[in-house]
Amino acid sequence: MSTRGVVYVHSSPPAVNPHVEWAISGVLDARVQLDWSKQEAAPGQMRAECSWTGPVGTAARLVSALRAWGMLRFEVTEDPSPGTDGERYSHVPGLGLWHGRTSANGDVVIGEDQLRSAMAAARRTGPDALHHRLDELLGRRWDDALEPYRFAGEGAAVGWLHQVG
């Protein structure tokens, strides 16, 4: 089953850019050449984004490949497909990796068991713990850290990449 998604490299040192392209190429089994532009939110850094198509699970494989460079700020999305939730991964140096399931419109979906666990913990430790846990489940720290980089990328060119095979 095929799906699609987007890789957003929000900030990368220029020397790492060829490695990023190589990593994405390896996952998609196709030569990737990104259209890099200056990242205004981080002088001296570059940004790029590309849409991709490939089998379900491609987003996780892209993230695994990109995590080799811990200084990157990036996000990878995968659209939902029949029988499979969508996904969003966010990586920020110092925070690490966040992962969430997404609905058809891109909202983060919190599972019933996750909510029950958060509520049970809040009964033991107080309502502030519930607020904190829900922020974690929604990826708020990652969103807050990436928002200036997302804005700096508005209007940037996006290319389509298709996985071979």
pLDDT in tens, 120-157: 988 999 889 899 999 999 999 999 999 999 986 555 55
Per the CB < 8 A criterion, the answer to whether 51 and 158 are in contact is: yes
**Please, what is the angle between helix 127-138 and helix 140-152, to 10°?**
40
Distances (CA, A) of 129 to 37, 42, 58, 135, 140: 40, 33, 34, 10, 15
**Tens digits of residue pLDDT in 41-87:** 999 999 999 999 999 999 999 999 999 999 999 999 999 998 899 99
Residue 90 lies in a domain: yes
- pLDDT of 156 reads 52
Residue 115 lies in a domain: no
- pLDDT of 104 reads 86
Per the CB < 8 A criterion, the answer to whether 92 and 81 are in contact is: no
Residue range of the domain that includes 90: 2-108+141-162
Indicate the number of domains in the chain.
1
Residue 37 lies in a domain: yes
- pLDDT of 106 reads 87
Per the CB < 8 A criterion, the answer to whether 20 and 36 are in contact is: no
Residue 41 lies in a domain: yes
Residue 38 lies in a domain: yes
Question: Which residues, in sequence order, are bridge partners of residue 73?
Answer: 11
Which pTM was predicted? 0.88
